[in-house]
Amino acid sequence: MPISDNRRPYTILFDLDGTLIDSTEAILESFARSFEILGGEVPDVEVIKAQVGHPLADMYRKLGVPEERIDDYVRTYKENYRQVHTQKTVLLPGAEAAVKKAAEFARLGIVTTKTGLYSQELMEHFGLMEYFDVLIGSEDVTRHKPHPEPILSALKRMGCPPKGCWMIGDTCMDLEAARRAGIEGIGLLCGYGKEEDLRRCGERLAPDALSAVTLIAQTPVEPS
């Protein structure tokens, strides 16, 4: 387990879905279950996947669920997701190596729009939670990515300055949040974001988390 040392010059914040993990099966099943129980036609798989990374309430809103019923759908989704998330989620290729390599030279955090409780359970399930100093989930902030609040909250909890801090994620929301928080961002091509969108949102792209960590390790931190 790495030592959390304020003298480390780098801080690396990771998104989860599409960045370190693939929980597509659990997500799609839980959406389908909520529509089966509460009514309505189950949306097309690609339509759901295009919304991954947004808070659940926003996803249901964009899928046409009436505002007054969104809480019921979110609750039903979570009831199913909690039962299947560890069994139907896998680490993306290179994710474990990325986390362990990053921990050699940086302090680490997770910034996700997933529920923090489920996120922590997943990271513990994969034996990786011990590498992270902080986990910011959807319930920990009032404004989600692309707003910078989740990133700024993570840095505040860690006591880290923006200098030397990087956000690794697979959507424009991650890259925009990084830009607005005054830190560097790397967009990943292994997740839910489309390459053409990521290229519009950021200058740095990488095929996966391990490649992104390798790039960061090769980028010196400019002196204050």
CA gap 102, 100 in Å, rounded: 5
Structure confidence at residue 81 as a pLDDT band (50, 70, 90)? very high
What's the structural domain count of the chain?
2
Distance of CA 51 to the CA centre of its chain: 13
Q: What is the mean pLDDT of the chain?
A: 94
User: Residue 4: what pLDDT?
Assistant: 45
Q: Are residues 42 and 52 in the same domain?
A: yes
Which structural domain, as residue segments, surrounds residue 199? 10-22+89-218
In sequence order, the 6+-apart residues with CB closer than 8 A to the CB of 111 are 13, 14, 15, 136, 145, 150, 151, 154, 167, 177
Does 5 reside within a domain? Answer: no
| Residue positions counted in the chain | 224
Q: What is the mean pLDDT of residues 16-25?
A: 97
CA gap 32, 158 in Å, rounded: 38
Q: Are residues 36 and 75 in the same domain?
A: yes
Does 147 reside within a domain? Answer: yes
* Kind plus residue range of the DSSP H or E element containing 95: helix 95-102
Structure confidence at residue 3 as a pLDDT band (50, 70, 90)? very low
pLDDT at residue 118 above 70? yes
CA gap 193, 174 in Å, rounded: 10
Q: Of 85, 117, 138, at which residue does a domain stop?
A: 85
User: Residue 221: what pLDDT?
Assistant: 76
pLDDT tens-digit map of 162-201: 999 999 999 999 999 999 999 999 999 999 999 999 999 9
Q: Of 51, 67, 85, at which residue does a domain stop?
A: 85
Q: Are residues 46 and 136 in the same domain?
A: no
What is the pTM assigned to this prediction? Answer: 0.92
Q: Of 35, 56, 85, at which residue does a domain stop?
A: 85
User: Residue 223: what pLDDT?
Assistant: 61
Q: Are residues 117 and 77 in the same domain?
A: no
pLDDT tens-digit map of 137-158: 999 999 999 999 999 999 999 9
CATH number at residue 178: 3.40.50.1000
Q: Are residues 140 and 34 in the same domain?
A: no
Structure confidence at residue 9 as a pLDDT band (50, 70, 90)? confident
